[in-house]
């Protein structure tokens, strides 16, 4: 009988030690983790990140979870996820390494054929800065909510760039990192749902039908090699704090384009990127502990993130329409929406919308050019925020 009581106490003692509110919060976080896993597996929405994040959310919200560092009976017991967080995210290492893999995956050819597409990528960062102002105003009106640093980290959700969001949020040490990352990666996965109505809201059927001729021809190898070097130098001069982000991204692309490091390029695109993604996804769950995550600020962050995402999309489209007022060669305004960093989902969405309006309207290469331009612009925007906002 004594053995049975000890067995029951070992299993349920940790739960019985919690109050009703703590148990409810734990169950809610389990549900959130389950939803993320469901979306990843059933709906195939960013599965490489949402699935580890969902499982991690459950892992860190188990009673007295050994996955995270805790003080038990006056003794500090280190948890593996906390150790990984300190080793790879607290010092921004994982996001930077992941950028090498992302850079190796990107083909800047469509952008190099039409460099002005980079302007659309810059314009599509409009929502980031509007959201920062809005979050800062909320912080002033409601004391104890968002500091200016928190607002800066929240605004970067609009870039639809997970590694940049992690880098910026961690740099400012915001306590809302878990909510910011869930919002960033969730909205990236929801690009096919969020962007079409936003684009249709600010375009006409005639505009969506506009065709854009594609200029055939190859970009010289020397140009492909010089591009990442030049971008790194310019970005370093404009926004010095962005050098880490831009430099690692461009280094990955240089490995791809140099032509003599094919094995390293393949490793960066596959093995390295996949390994870091696994660690990154499950490790960020350290910031999804119930006491930190289940606050009304989390809901507000989700709303602000959506606001940033929507206005980035609309800002890119409206900039394309503005360009058409002064340009002889008109562009389909929809490609401006691809200026966010959700590559290649956003360019595919715009391409499908063009085909839906006109089966002969092929926008993929133009949209892809804007999309990779948005990848560069979002990283530089992150660097600018680090420069403009004091730590």
Cβ proximity of 180 and 301 under 8 Å: yes
Write out the DSSP string of 200-244.
HHT--HHHHT---PPPP-PPPHHHHHHHHHHHHHHHHHH-GGGHH
Cβ proximity of 377 and 342 under 8 Å: no
Biggest alpha carbon distance in the chain? 88
Rounded distance between C-alpha atoms, residue 236 and residue 379, angstroms: 12
Mean pLDDT in residue range 362-367? 86
pLDDT tens-digit readout, 298-324? 889 999 999 998 989 999 899 999 988
Residue 188: other Cβ atoms inside 10 A: 26
pLDDT tens-digit readout, 149-207? 999 999 988 877 778 888 888 888 888 888 888 888 778 777 888 899 999 999 999 99
Contacts of residue 268, defined as CB under 8 A and 6 or more positions apart, other chains included, come to 100, 101, 103, 104, 252, 255, 256
Angle value at C-alpha 170, between 309 and 275, nearest 5 degrees:
85
Start-to-end C-alpha separation, the chain: 59
pLDDT above 80 (res 215): no
Residue 13's pLDDT band, with cuts at 50, 70 and 90, is low
pLDDT above 80 (res 214): no
């Amino acid at each position: 009988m004594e053995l049975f009581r000890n067995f029951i106490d070992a299993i349920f003692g940790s739960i019985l030690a919690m109050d009703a509110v703590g148990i409810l919060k734990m169950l809610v976080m389990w549900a959130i983790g389950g939803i993320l896993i469901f979306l990843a597996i059933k709906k195939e929405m960013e599965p490489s990140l949402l699935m580890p994040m969902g499982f991690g959310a459950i892992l860190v919200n188990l009673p007295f979870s050994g996955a995270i560092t805790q003080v038990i009976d006056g003794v500090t017991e280190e948890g593996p996820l906390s150790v990984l967080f300190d080793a790879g995210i607290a010092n921004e290492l994982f996001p930077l390494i992941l950028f090498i893999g992302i850079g190796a995956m990107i083909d800047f050819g469509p952008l190099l054929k039409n460099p002005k597409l980079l302007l659309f990528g810059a314009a599509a960062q409009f929502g980031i800065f509007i959201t920062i102002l809005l979050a800062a105003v909320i912080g002033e009106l409601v004391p104890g909510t968002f500091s200016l640093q928190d607002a800066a980290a929240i605004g970067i959700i609009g870039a639809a760039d997970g590694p940049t969001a992690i880098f910026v949020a961690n740099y400012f040490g915001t306590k809302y990192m878990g909510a910011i990352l869930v919002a960033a990666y969730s909205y990236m996965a929801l690009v096919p749902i969020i962007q079409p109505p936003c684009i249709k809201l600010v375009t006409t059927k005639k505009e969506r039908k506009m065709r854009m001729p594609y200029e055939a021809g190859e970009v010289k190898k020397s140009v492909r090699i010089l591009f990442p070097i030049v971008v790194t130098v310019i970005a370093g001069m404009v926004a010095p704090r962005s050098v880490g982000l831009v430099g690692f991204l461009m280094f990955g692309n240089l490995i791809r384009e140099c032509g003599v490091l094919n094995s390293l390029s393949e490793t960066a695109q596959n093995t390295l990127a996949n390994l870091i993604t696994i660690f990154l996804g499950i490790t960020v769950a350290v910031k999804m502990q119930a006491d930190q995550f289940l606050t009304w600020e989390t809901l507000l962050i989700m709303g602000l993130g959506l606001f940033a995402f929507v206005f980035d999309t609309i800002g890119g489209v409206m900039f394309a329409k503005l360009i058409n007022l002064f340009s002889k060669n008109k562009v389909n305004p929809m490609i401006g929406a691809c200026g966010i960093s959700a590559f290649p989902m956003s360019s595919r969405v715009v391409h499908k919308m063009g085909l839906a309006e006109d089966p002969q309207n092929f926008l993929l290469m133009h949209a892809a050019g804007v999309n990779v331009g948005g990848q560069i612009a979002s990283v530089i925007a992150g660097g600018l925020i680090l420069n403009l906002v004091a730590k």
